[in-house]
A = this chain, B = another copy of it.
């Protein structure tokens, strides 16, 4: 039994701080680094990559829509080509900092509205994946099992690390309860920890209406922009290790045994 823990980091910008990047990089095993389209700037990117290199954290590009003031959370109607080229651009920008530190860039994860649209909209998902594939870096896509992103990745032969959530409620069909609905987000640390362990050890969650469903889980998302994020991440990691789960990065480019 093994699982990766991923967290969104590097979401500061210019004079503004956001998140608990510094602490999280000692706990999670994969870091989704903002690439200056929705958050982050070249200094923040350098800091995060250096720190991730020191802690042995796997580095990925957290690619988003070009909407800084909206933090990439507002849906935008971009063409296929606009998404492909925006994704390539962001991957390359972050890759330069990885080269500079002598560490690999391993994965890509969509951010905010791009992630949300990529879950269900195959047109958006295919553009995202084309950008990932065309970088020719053997990058892994972090995406939920069964999502349009996962399907597009299969079409392109892009490896997927199946992402699951320990702080979100699931429905019986294995999809998440939308955030606007009651009970969508789990805030009780004990429940979060329990769901993490169940996902990592059994590949299952208990749904919002009490059923058990299978949810593929190579990597658990640890939200980083909530107060106390680092403390919760630490609790999740400890519980996983106590349950005999090996917490380490999913296999990266060129590695055997992709989950």
Task: Report whether B94 and A46 are in contact in the complex, using a CB–CB cutoff of 8 Å.
Answer: no
One of B16, B36, B100, B113 near A135 (C-beta < 8 A): B100
Task: List CB contacts (< 8 Å) of A164-215 with chain B.
Answer: none
Q: A13 to B85, Cβ gap below 8 A?
A: no
Pairwise interchain contact A88-B137, C-beta atoms closer than 8 A: no
Say which residue of B39, B75, B89 sits within 8 Å of A42 (CB atoms). Answer: B89
Which stretch from A63-71, A143-151, A154-162, A228-236 is at the chain B interface?
A63-71
Q: Contact check, B43 vs A85: say whether CB atoms are below 8 A apart.
A: yes
User: Among A1-9, A76-84, A118-126, A237-245, which stretch is in contact with chain B?
Assistant: A76-84
Known A92-B95, A96-B91, A97-B88: A41·B14 in contact at CB below 8 Å: no
Which residues of B sit under 8 angstroms from A257, Cβ to Cβ? none
Nearest residue (CB) in B for A96 is: B92
Contact of A95 among B70, B76, B96 (CB under 8 A): B96
> How many identical chains are in the complex?
4
Q: What is the 8 Å Cβ interface bit string for chain A, positions 87-117, against chain B (1 contact, 0 not)? A: 0111111111101101000000000010000
Residues of chain B lying within 8 A (CB to CB) of residue A91: 96
Q: Do the beta carbons of A69 and B69 come within 8 Å of each other?
A: no
Residue from B15, B68, B85 in contact with A14 in the complex, judged by beta carbons closer than 8 Å: B68
**Given A77-B113, A89-B36, A95-B95, A69 contacting B100 (CB threshold 8 A):** no
6 A-B pairs (CB sep. < 8 Å): A36-B89, A42-B82, A43-B82, A89-B97, A100-B134, A102-B136
Nearest 6 Cβ contacts at the A-B interface: A92-B96, A16-B16, A42-B85, A75-B77, A100-B134, A15-B71
